[in-house]
Amino acid sequence: MANLDLMRELSIPTPSKIAMLVIDGLGGLAGPDGLSELESARLPNLDQLAAEGICGVIQHVLPGITPGSGPGHLALFGYDPLTYDIGRGVLEALGIGFDLQPGDLAARGNFCSVDAQGRITDRRAGRIPTELNVELCKLLREIRLEGVEVFVEPVQDYRFALVLRGSGLSEGLTETDPQREGMEPLPVQARSPDAERAAALANQFVQQARAALRGQHPANMVLLRGFSTLPSLPSFSEVYRMRAAGIAIYPMYRGLAKLTGMTVHQGGKDIHEEMALAGRLWQDYDFFYVHFKRADSAGEDGNFDAKVQALEEVDAALPALRALRPDVLIVTGDHATPSVLKAHSWHPVPLALHTPWRYPDGVRAFSERDCREGDLGRFAATDVMPLAMAHAMKLVKFGA
């Protein structure tokens, strides 16, 4: 039986509350002096949490697999990311706060450069600035397709989101990006008969986009990838029998929470405002997901010191969350983002879980190395919610 089915069977509503603070990109690798970002930062509150709770390190997908933000978060919420797939198009739309509806077909778009023969000379159109992207998207919004609404939304640089809204749009489509230069964009093909109509519409969009962008070199063509519709996820609230709030500053993370059926709230301008918001909402929900972004951004930038600083910022905000006295408090991340890699990585991510029902595990600091020695050891991120539920006394026993 899958985790979620078991949770659905065993969960009971109780007054206890669970808070999960997700530090995006938590977990790194040693910098110049041999210490990781977590080990270099001064983190009195996180260290105290680690000492008073139980610790471990989590793996979001499988050993060696680097999670994207979607799979990383789904796993934390208890959804096996290998079962529940979020397409790139959907994620791109969620990332800009587009209000995707069930049945919408979303794709990730790139502006690209093509030569007179239509062959791709730059898959990213010379990384045009976002301002130009905004103007070009206005041109693309003039495209009309029969029986569907067309949305074209700028994302950043050369990237945009395309959403087709109508009935019967299947996501079973191939991509137009040949993944290398010197070739023409590929036609969209249906992977199954029920996707024929969506394929035809996507190809009409590409054809009209080519016409609309003629003369706009370097951004004189588009590439479309990751055609996808909103996945149908079991409802978080129904599975765990909790009223759940998602608090995040960036749209993508609110979008991921919304996918699971959480009620989402714009977090304000920084982690302190997010914590204050959690406080104001405290009586209205049983589960709080709070997202902190800056650690990941700093890691992606390869800025070790900025990541250290971001960790110290979230540490300073932690007491406000603890002051709300959640019955179970979890602090962890959706994936590692080591500054030295300037990217997400596959390394297990530290986790601390605060609960009264624990064996003291001797961990005294919140870091990759310390948490690994904790009571929870190394475990799957999809087990975080079952453990949180157990410690919050929200599960009945399995079998008699």
Which parts of this chain interact with a second copy (CB under 8 A)?
Answer: 1, 3, 6, 10, 29-30, 34, 36, 61-71, 81-82, 85-86, 88, 91-92, 226, 338, 340-341, 343-347, 357-361, 368-369, 372, 375, 377-380, 383, 385-391, 395-400
Mark 244-278 as b/e (b = at least 16 C-beta within 10 Å): bbbbbbbbbbbbbbbbbebbbbebeebbeebbebb
Which two tokens mark 54? 């139980």
Whose Cβ is closer to a second copy: residue 148's or residue 376's? 376
Whose Cβ is closer to a second copy: residue 282's or residue 379's? 379
Smallest distance, Å, CB 211 to a second copy? Answer: 30
Position 216, amino acid = Q
Whose Cβ is closer to a second copy: residue 327's or residue 361's? 361
Q: Is the separation of the CB atoms in 165 and 221 below 8 Å?
A: no
Residue 43 — φ and ψ, nearest 5°? -130, 65
Smallest distance, Å, CB 376 to a second copy? Answer: 8
Whose Cβ is closer to a second copy: residue 46's or residue 385's? 385
Q: How far apart are CA 86 and CA 179, in angstroms?
A: 21
- Omega of the bond prior to 218 within 30 degrees of 0, cis? yes
Smallest distance, Å, CB 396 to a second copy? Answer: 8
DSSP track, 226-269: EEE----PPPHHHHHT--EEEEESSHHHHHHHHHTT-EEEE--S
Smallest distance, Å, CB 57 to a second copy? Answer: 9
Smallest distance, Å, CB 187 to a second copy? Answer: 23
Smallest distance, Å, CB 315 to a second copy? Answer: 21
Instruction: Provide the 8-state DSSP code for 345.
Output: B
Q: Is the separation of the CB atoms in 50 and 352 below 8 Å?
A: yes
- Three-state secondary-structure class, residue 389: helix
Contacts 24+ apart (CB under 8 A), 209-215: 209/140, 209/143, 210/118, 212/139, 212/140, 212/142, 212/143, 213/111, 213/136, 213/139, 213/140
Which two tokens mark 222? 């588009």
Which two tokens mark 94? 């969620």
Whose Cβ is closer to a second copy: residue 184's or residue 373's? 373
Whose Cβ is closer to a second copy: residue 265's or residue 394's? 394
Whose Cβ is closer to a second copy: residue 206's or residue 388's? 388
Whose Cβ is closer to a second copy: residue 91's or residue 230's? 91
Q: Are strands 349-354 and 287-292 parallel, antiparallel or unpaired?
A: unpaired
Which two tokens mark 380? 């799957």
Smallest distance, Å, CB 323 to a second copy? Answer: 25
Smallest distance, Å, CB 328 to a second copy? Answer: 11
Whose Cβ is closer to a second copy: residue 36's or residue 220's? 36
Position 1, amino acid = M
Smallest distance, Å, CB 70 to a second copy? Answer: 5
The Cα-based distances of 84 to 77, 213, 391 in angstroms read: 12, 36, 26
